[in-house]
Amino acid sequence: MLNKYVLVNYVPDTIDDKVLFGPLLIGARYPSLRGTAFAERGIDCAFGSHHKDQAFIFSENLCAQINYAPHIANNKIIKGPTTIATMFPFFTKKVFESGVDAAFESTKKYEAYLFKGDQRALINYDYDSHLIAIYLINQWLS
């Protein structure tokens, strides 16, 4: 929603999902993002982290690691904003360097899936982050 967000309470496998509040401006809820591309242009996608209350957010070719501190005004940027290739050097000269369309945290600790065009990447984002693999979206993993 460009530079806005909503907070949704969702309950898997039910129809009890509901919007708690929003849409609201990103910078209003997350003051640490004010003056950044994330508050001005918006967040293209994000994935939660197995590090408590942390997430990686993406806007065009930029990335940041944040502590979103739910319901607390002292959220902060841990790393960035910086280019995706700086945050994740293994994406240099790969399609993901220019942006990420969608992302989600894996059930496996410190791993996430990122999507761009017809490609998906599996990464480890822990302190020694590394690329595990890049596949075509329609390519089956065994």
The DSSP H or E segment spanning 48 is strand 45-48
Residue 132 to residue 117: CA distance in whole angstroms: 18
Evaluate whether residue 92 is within a structural domain: yes
Question: Whole domain around residue 42: which residue ranges?
Answer: 4-136
Evaluate whether residue 142 is within a structural domain: no
Evaluate whether residue 36 is within a structural domain: yes
The domain total for the chain is: 1
Mean local confidence (pLDDT), 69-87: 87
pLDDT digits (tens, 9 = 90+) for 83-141: 999 999 999 999 999 999 999 999 999 999 999 999 999 999 998 899 999 999 988 75
Please determine, for residue 1, whether its predicted confidence score (pLDDT) is greater than 70. Answer: no
Which is more confidently placed, 4 or 132?
A: 132
How buried is 69 (Cβ within 10 angstroms: 0-12 exposed, 13-18 middle, 19+ buried)? middle
Return the CATH number at 71: 2.110.10.10
- β pairing state of 54-59 and 45-48: antiparallel
Evaluate whether residue 84 is within a structural domain: yes
Evaluate whether residue 141 is within a structural domain: no
Token readout for 86 is 């700086």
Evaluate whether residue 125 is within a structural domain: yes
SS3 label, residue 84: helix
